[in-house]
Amino acid sequence: MAIAEMVDNAIQAGAKTVEISVGGTQQEQHPLSISISDDGHGMGPTDLGRALSFGGSSRFNDRLSLGRYGMGLPNASLSQARRVDVFSWRDGKAHRCYLDLDEVAEERGQTLPPVVPIGNPPPLRGQGSGTRIELSRCDRLEYKRASTIAAKLGAELGRIFRHYIAAGTSIQVNGKLVEPVDHLFQSTPTGATQFGETLTYELSGPSGFGVVEVRFTELPVLLWHRLAEAEKRRLGITGALPVSVVRAGREVDRGWFLMGKKRRENYDDWWRCEIRFDPNLDELFGITHTKQQISPSPELRVAIEPDLESIARALNQRVRRHFEMAKSSTPLITAERTASRVQGSLPPLPNCTYDAAGAEIRRNAGPLLSDPDGAFQLCLAELPTTDLYEFEFYAGTLTLFLNIRHPVLRDVFRPLALSDQLSDRAHATKLVLVLLAAARAEVRCENDESHDSLRSFRQEWSDVASTFLNA
């Protein structure tokens, strides 16, 4: 977080490139050192002196800036190192200033030495302005190896500044480009999907009006649940903090916020939330001067917490259902294999295409369980209709989508499929085969004249079955 404060300063200074170098070891003869260089507009002697003065920043209380409290550079530096040197240059002139805790302790001279002109240091990437911060005698770091610190920095900065990196800001650690870490897991085609619409709140704080935007995403349980536990942790799926709070494009905290009375469960690893807000609402979010924590105010809780709690509970239930769908896959696999084995003894299917499922059904379906070139594919899905099933027939393959919302699946198939008894799971397989037979018969009877009738029959049959089972 200390380095993040310095990256804040660089971005606020208009930097497009920030280069961080970590070297040495946490040993007396080779102490750890960290340098942060940027190609921002640099500082003159007056601003440089202010930058190393506690509370003396020229951006104090500037709500448009990433840092507005004037405590970032001195606090961040001395929280990690016993000495900080700052070099800054622009317009062909360079200056230096430093803070040294050992000198202060020994009462050698002033607490803050004067800013002095120096020869122009090598500019970053050929730029004529910039700033370089050097932390030496770093004796307060959590990790002892430079390589470990560099790896940790890359991951943390990639998450904290993900929106800036995505917009073109370059951050490097020991020569390696920092990639944005997508908290919402939407950066890949097979990743998370947004749940519901983006929530927008216009709120009034002590400093004026501001906007809060909230987005939820759900991770693909049905695709990723089989990953090894170590892989889930490596990817940040399990054991992560689901709620990220972003101020002016920069993450300031993550954890379990504004979820009302809902307690966090393991199922909550499988969704994410991002809360973005304007700096005018700092007081409502209770932003600390280090930008490392929030403390939501009662006013903020009243305004947005009920909605967020409701969505979190809905996502939790969806994750539960998806895990049950995953556990129920064995009878479907067995049914696929059984049907394919006897397919040759059945009346042939017509040479036609029946594409009724649509994108919405496929998006809410579990993974197809068999070879895509096989005769049958079965999967569980959340259908947007009350039908017991929907299907597609294309290139000789019949794909059956079974509606987990329907009582036949919910109250008959599910208990059998999740049972520890082999006989129960065998009965679940037979039930699926019966439904597959109905879908196959519908394909054989399908033509322009019968389409509407068959569709009406399936809907009527599904609704009556639902009524009977719910009685």
**Full DSSP string of 285-312:** HT--TTSS-----HHHHHHHHHHHHHHH
> What is d(CA 304, CA 43) in angstroms, rounded to the nearest whole number?
41
> What is d(CA 423, CA 29) in angstroms, rounded to the nearest whole number?
70
> What is d(CA 396, CA 352) in angstroms, rounded to the nearest whole number?
8
Beta bridge partners of 297: none
Topology annotation, domain 193-325 = Ribosomal Protein S5; domain 2 (3.30.230)
**Full DSSP string of 199-256:** EEEEEEETTEEEEEEEEEEE--HHHHTTS-HHHHHHHT-SS---EEEEETTEEEEEES
> What is d(CA 172, CA 154) in angstroms, rounded to the nearest whole number?
8
Tokens of 69: 């409290």
Instruction: Centre a 10 Å sphere on the Cβ of residue 106 and count the other Cβ atoms it contains.
Output: 9
Q: Torsions phi, psi of 33, nearest 5?
A: -140, 150
> What is d(CA 371, CA 378) in angstroms, rounded to the nearest whole number?
11
Tokens of 463: 């609704």
> What is d(CA 35, CA 20) in angstroms, rounded to the nearest whole number?
6
Name the 3-class secondary structure at 34: strand
Helix H segments across 357-470?
358-363, 407, 414-417, 422-445, 451-470
Tokens of 193: 């999907």
> What is d(CA 99, CA 115) in angstroms, rounded to the nearest whole number?
11
**Can you give the pTM of this predicted structure?**
0.75
What string of pLDDT tens digits covers the 471 residues of the chain? 778 888 988 998 899 999 999 887 555 555 678 889 999 998 888 888 887 776 545 454 454 555 543 445 656 666 677 788 889 888 888 888 888 777 766 765 555 778 888 876 666 656 788 999 888 877 666 667 778 888 888 999 999 999 999 999 999 999 999 999 999 999 877 789 999 999 999 999 888 899 999 999 999 887 788 789 999 998 899 988 999 999 999 999 999 999 999 999 999 999 999 999 999 999 999 986 655 689 999 999 999 999 999 999 999 999 998 888 778 788 888 998 899 888 889 888 877 666 655 656 666 665 555 555 568 888 888 888 899 999 888 878 888 899 988 999 999 998 999 888 999 999 999 999 999 999 999 888 877 677 788 889 999 999 999 999 998
Residue-wise burial string across 397-413, b where 16 or more C-beta atoms lie within 10 A, e elsewhere: bbbbbbbbbbbbbbebb
Name the 3-class secondary structure at 420: coil
The answer to whether 414 and 324 have CB atoms below 8 angstroms apart is yes
**Nearest one of 272, 270, 274 to 220, comparing CA atoms:** 270
The 8-class DSSP code of residue 62 comes to: -
CATH numeric code, 2-177: 3.30.565.10
Reported as type and span, the H/E element at residue 368 is none
Domain range list for the chain: 2-177, 193-325, 328-470
> What is d(CA 32, CA 141) in angstroms, rounded to the nearest whole number?
9
Check residue 173 and give its pLDDT. Answer: 93
The answer to whether 17 and 24 have CB atoms below 8 angstroms apart is no
Tokens of 386: 């009350």
Reported as type and span, the H/E element at residue 6 is helix 2-12
> What is d(CA 445, CA 458) in angstroms, rounded to the nearest whole number?
13
